[in-house]
Amino acid sequence: MLFFCTLLPAFSFALQESTGPNGSNVQDVHALGFTGQGIAVGLISQDHARLTHEAFAGINSNNWYDATDQNNYVPSSHDTSVGGIICSRGGASYPNDKGAAPDVELYSFKVTRPRSVTDPNLVIDSSWIQNALDEALNNQCKVIVTGIQLSDTANGDSLWSLIYDYFAYEHNLVFATATGNYASNVTVFGDTYNSITTGGLLRDPNDIYYKVGSTSNSGPTSDARQKPDLVAPSENQWAPTASSDISWANASPSSGGQTSWSVPHTGGVAAVLLSYADTTPDTDDNQDELIKAVIVNSTFPNIQDKSGNATPLQTWDTDRGYGRIDAYRAHEILSSPKIIPSSSTTNAKGWAYDIVGTSQQDNYTVQGIKNERLLVTLTWNRRVVWSDSILPFSQPGVIEPDELEAFFANLDLEIRDPDGILISPAASSVDNLEKVDLLLSKTGNYQVRVINQSGTESANYALAFEVLPPLLADFNVDYVVNDLDLITLLSDWLQGGADADIAPAGGDGTVDLFDFSIFAQLWLDYDSRYYSP
């Protein structure tokens, strides 16, 4: 069965807030001159975006394709709004309502149609998905945003998911997929290995996207993989609709938050990063695995779950994945120097892209200081091979059931401290993305190892890392300066003890008013890396 999101009545909210520092934070990358220019994005959905809308000024209005072979142009408000969140240029009355990547070239692909002239129920065929992806490649699309979900078993092995993973692996496409809505677990296409799967966030009265919406599907997948990867704004975004060429409305003003409005942020951020990569001489910084790694590594973890509870900050969470997308920090990592195996770096940020052979490992050295945080993300693609059958009744050139075969290289991310002690948690044997967030207990060289546990399958992989300086007065090192830290401070203050446990504050060996002043100031201030109530 096919599901899609609908628009609700308009309210006075803006797309501008959702792309700001408390949303996907992509405006700060626009200010650096990277807005998706030169990148083509394909939107695969139920219908078409209304490409004649003022929000798409400058985009070719013929950039639509009916993959069902009906050659019907069917603009819908759902797909027009999704396209607008990707790349709106604003409008006469809405000049600031610009999308995540306002200068990309958008292509709109329709992959559903009524079952018959007498049966209006929508159907979708895998060959239509392939048609859309083939046409996207013909138009040099580098990012695919998917605005629909399917109710098939979401274990990564459906033909739908295998097709997506095949195109990602074979053609270096970045896939932005949604967790889906109203289901108990992630749905297809959000279960694909090689995509970036996105859940939806609600906002508070201060335009901070802080909490996962009740309709956003939670993970893991039915085969226990950790999806979603991250979350993005889904509520209260002023976006174009299909009623006319100048009509706008508030996408999803309800408290549930639809993931159709969050996934275009991920696709837009990927396009902006690729537009930056086009300006560099490096040949690896445009790889889909790397774009995924830097986006996931830079997420903002302080997000509430659907029930409004704080999530465990150093781990993946079933509702929010690894946190809220942050385009600016992702760009900071991608624009940092590349590192190569067996190298050592003093840089606070960086990335790697390489291949690790069967039963082999690659080693990197990152310098860290006690009480800093080391964030490292490793990801690689599931390899999917298409063997086009020549048997009778098969269709040449059409991907059919049993023609795709998946191969999985089991890579592990391992971190050892300066004394060689293993400090990273146990690695997953089913996921093709691993992220660690470690508080460093020592000063020195930390070994980052990519270990291939497979004896038969080598793999290209991407690695992203960031060393965050400690947040002064965060004595509980939980990313939050709050009353728990005050309790720690007061206990040592009343006992008249040395501030060994809270050295990042005063650092003078005494717990005194100077330590309290630092704590009080940071308790009141907002640090973009963290959340302070």
- Segment (H or E) for 522: helix 513-524
Last residue of a domain, one of 448, 468, 488: 468
In this structure, are 279 and 374 located in the same domain?
no
In this structure, are 445 and 486 located in the same domain?
no
Calculate the alpha carbon distances from 182 to 4, 5, 36, 235, 306 in Å.
11, 10, 32, 15, 13
Dist CA 79 CA 64 (whole Å)? 12
Closest CA to 470 of 492, 439, 446: 439
- Name the residue range of residue 390's domain: 337-468
Contacts of 500 (CB under 8 A, 6+ apart): none
Closest CA to 507 of 480, 532, 470: 470
Last residue of a domain, one of 425, 443, 468: 468
In sequence order, which ranges of 10-139 are alpha helices (DSSP H)?
15-18, 27-30, 77-87, 126-138
Q: Exposure string (b/e) for 319-352, b if CB count within 10 Å is 16 or more?
A: bbbbbbbbbbbbbbbbbbebbebeeebeebbbbb
Q: What's the 3-state SS for 146-191?
A: ECCEECCCCCCCCHHHHHHHHHHHHHCCEEEEECCECCCCCCECCC
The tens-digit pLDDT sequence of the chain (533 residues) is 454 443 333 333 578 899 999 999 999 999 999 999 999 999 999 999 999 999 999 999 999 999 999 999 999 999 999 999 999 999 999 999 999 999 999 999 999 999 988 998 999 999 999 999 999 999 999 999 999 999 888 999 999 999 999 999 999 999 999 999 999 999 999 999 999 999 999 998 888 899 999 999 999 999 999 999 999 999 989 999 999 999 999 987 777 778 999 999 999 999 999 999 999 999 999 999 999 999 999 999 989 999 999 888 788 999 999 999 999 999 999 999 999 999 999 999 999 999 999 999 999 999 999 889 999 999 999 999 999 998 888 899 999 999 999 999 999 999 999 999 999 999 889 999 999 999 999 999 999 999 999 999 999 999 999 999 877 777 777 777 777 788 777 777 777 665 555 554 556 667 777 777 777 777 766 555 555 44
Structure tokens belonging to residue 417: 């401290």
Dist CA 178 CA 499 (whole Å)? 47
Dist CA 138 CA 353 (whole Å)? 27
**Residue labelled with tokens 């296409």:** 189
In this structure, are 367 and 398 located in the same domain?
yes
Closest CA to 279 of 329, 325, 331: 331
In this structure, are 518 and 431 located in the same domain?
no
Are 178 and 146 in contact by the 8 Å Cβ rule? The answer is: yes
Phi/psi of residue 107, nearest 5 degrees: -120, 135
Provide the CA 523 distance to its chain's centre, in angstroms. 29
Which domain CATH number covers 63? 3.40.50.200
Total count of domains within the chain:
3
Structure tokens belonging to residue 488: 């720690």
Give me the pLDDT at residue 473, please.
Answer: 74
Dist CA 76 CA 54 (whole Å)? 15
Phi/psi of residue 133, nearest 5 degrees: -70, -35
Dist CA 361 CA 447 (whole Å)? 12
In this structure, are 351 and 298 located in the same domain?
no
Structure tokens belonging to residue 367: 């310098």
> What's the Rg (C-alpha) of the chain?
23
Calculate the alpha carbon distances from 435 to 152, 226, 299, 312 in Å.
28, 11, 11, 14
Give me the pLDDT at residue 243, please.
Answer: 97
Last residue of a domain, one of 272, 303, 331: 331
In this structure, are 406 and 327 located in the same domain?
no
| Beta-ladder partners of 310 | 304
Closest CA to 234 of 205, 267, 212: 212
In this structure, are 396 and 532 located in the same domain?
no
In this structure, are 260 and 351 located in the same domain?
no
> How does strand 411-416 pair with strand 444-452?
antiparallel
Give me the pLDDT at residue 508, please.
Answer: 64
Which domain CATH number covers 341? 2.60.120.380
Structure tokens belonging to residue 114: 């009524």
In this structure, are 237 and 281 located in the same domain?
yes
In this structure, are 187 and 40 located in the same domain?
yes
In this structure, are 158 and 295 located in the same domain?
yes
In this structure, are 478 and 496 located in the same domain?
yes
